[in-house]
Structure 1
């Protein structure tokens, strides 16, 4: 299938799926424990996707670009050699990680500044999640540019699994803040549309700005590595600590009726996390591109 059609269909599916998933808290009441396990599974899937898919794939594309560049240079000058891509690999991963750190800190800062105004809190929460979703869209757009179906499927699943609890949490927060249903739907619409719009824009920008095959490989590799850095931050610094810190609240059914703080996950949560991390690896082994 043509890449343009692929990114369009994937983006539409992502938008519809995220919007419908976000409606679930408005229609049904999910238990805190169910949402807790969905969040753990999503965090694990993000980690596994970054470690087993996006980072190795990005490194491979950078190495392939380097090989093509050296082959081109050797035709002109046999002693010419392009600089190694190793430095750029580390820089891009780190930049993706730092970018999400800055976004997270800014969202927290503005949330503190507007904590006396429920509407400000709602806008800040939505804005933070929209920026997170935009980073997911960038990852998906870069992935589709590779033309590899396996990687597209795995990253799409990672994004959806990550966005599902985020959509649940956003709607639940807005309901708790007392926003009317029509305003909640507007916030959910913005969150759902962010990743698809950025995914489509990323794909077409990569194709429009990369005049040669070597440049396309390099740009796509950088996009994959940047996405790997953002995935690692979201999963390991943002989501997992929140899950562990909230583990005591989930265990509020203790006989004493008091919350029991936990500094670690229980065995069920740990198995769920390991399952989430391992699924991308199994999918990568089971799905092969021709």
Structure 2
């Protein structure tokens, strides 16, 4: 039954990500509403990690440690595997940190080679981070009919425009020049290829899939439902921002391919995680590998929520027209943080057997 539920959730997750990702092609969105969803998503990720995923992983490891073994004393069985817990959490967090830095470096690794090419657009780590964060409070997604000029960034990082990412060329001008091929596609220099942005978000989506697959293998239906909800709310503003970022630079057909890759990553990663745990875990070792996967995914969740999605409005978004006040931001984040734990209690999820 766990695999069937996972397949259903993966189908819903992929369909929702794809559908939401294409909406900016036909609709515009309220800046306040998107900011609220993004803030709530941050709280849900934190709450799912600290209130559900990590405790469940610790519990699974503890039960695996209690498995009867002829050469284990009663004291050893009762000990909590703190080193394993810490190693799993740190490994998940470190992996996302390393990937984030490597992707950011590759995004503008050839920047020094294109100083004489004014049309080269450079995407750096701020762009990837901003896409994960969603639009800054006070920003608004642009009308799909607006051209590349809508992506200008007056004032640098402190004055991001409506498309929620900054686009800079190698000469720090505020407009982007592109060349159009015979087929109408926008030809972008490799130094400014938006594939770097999509790649970063695809890698982050793998972390979401890891958590969903591990939660499905745990056998806790409530845990799986809570993790699924947190991932959906987290991916919604990210999908919208990704499409909006690609619109000035790629034709619709190419945008659909990017959104498809983004939408399929989490479901595929979830299924791969599920079957990997199934393959590695045999009988008594299954709870151990399930716990390791949950704790590892908990570490990735913490990175995405705390590093990629800072709650503070002081992280580069200084706008006098900010509509999401600090009090509202804190309230939405706290509600999101406590929701997974409360929902787990209502759905019957607990750590007592």
**Smaller-chain TM-score bracket:** 0.7 to 0.9
Q: 2:280, 2:289 within 8 Å by CA — same for their partners in 1?
A: no
C-alpha separation between the residues in 2 aligned to 1:163 and 1:104? 17
Helix, strand or coil at the partner of 2:318: helix
Aligned residue in 2 for 1:238: 308
Aligned residue in 2 for 1:31: 30
Shift of 1:211: 1.6
- Tell me the TM-score normalized by structure 1: 0.87
Is 1:191–2:245 an aligned residue pair?
Answer: no
Aligned residue in 1 for 2:198: 126
C-alpha separation between the residues in 1 aligned to 2:263 and 2:311? 25
Which aligned runs of 4 or more in structure 1 are off by greater than 3 angstroms? 76-84, 116-121, 241-244
Aligned residue in 2 for 1:269: 329
Shift of 1:84: 5.0
- Structure having the larger proportion of residues in helix: 1
Q: 2:43, 2:336 within 8 Å by CA — same for their partners in 1?
A: yes
Q: Which of 264, 281, 288 is 2:341 aligned to?
A: 281
Please tell me whether Structure 1 or Structure 2 has the larger radius of gyration of its CA atoms: 2
Aligned residue in 1 for 2:295: 225
Any stretches of 5+ residues in structure 2 without a counterpart?
111-121, 123-168, 170-187
Helix, strand or coil at the partner of 2:250: coil
Aligned residue in 2 for 1:45: 44
Q: How does 1:201-220 map to 2 (within 5 A)?
A: 201-212=272-283, 214-220=284-290
Shift of 1:29: 0.6
Aligned residue in 1 for 2:53: 54
C-alpha separation between the residues in 2 aligned to 1:210 and 1:64? 14
| CA distance 1:252–1:289, shift in 2 (3 Å) | closer
Is 1:92–2:88 an aligned residue pair?
Answer: yes
Any stretches of 5+ residues in structure 1 without a counterpart?
255-263
Shift of 1:101: 0.7
C-alpha separation between the residues in 2 aligned to 1:111 and 1:77? 51
Q: Deviations over 1:89-146 (max 9, x none)?
A: 0000001011111111122212233615566441000000001001110111111001
Q: Which of 106, 109, 113 is 2:109 aligned to?
A: 113
Q: 2:64, 2:288 within 8 Å by CA — same for their partners in 1?
A: yes
C-alpha separation between the residues in 1 aligned to 2:74 and 2:340? 42
Q: Which range is displaced more, 232-241 or 92-101?
A: 232-241
Is 1:161–2:157 an aligned residue pair?
Answer: no
Q: Which of 179, 187, 202 is 2:250 aligned to?
A: 179
C-alpha separation between the residues in 1 aligned to 2:73 and 2:97? 44
Helix, strand or coil at the partner of 1:105: helix
C-alpha separation between the residues in 2 aligned to 1:243 and 1:96? 26
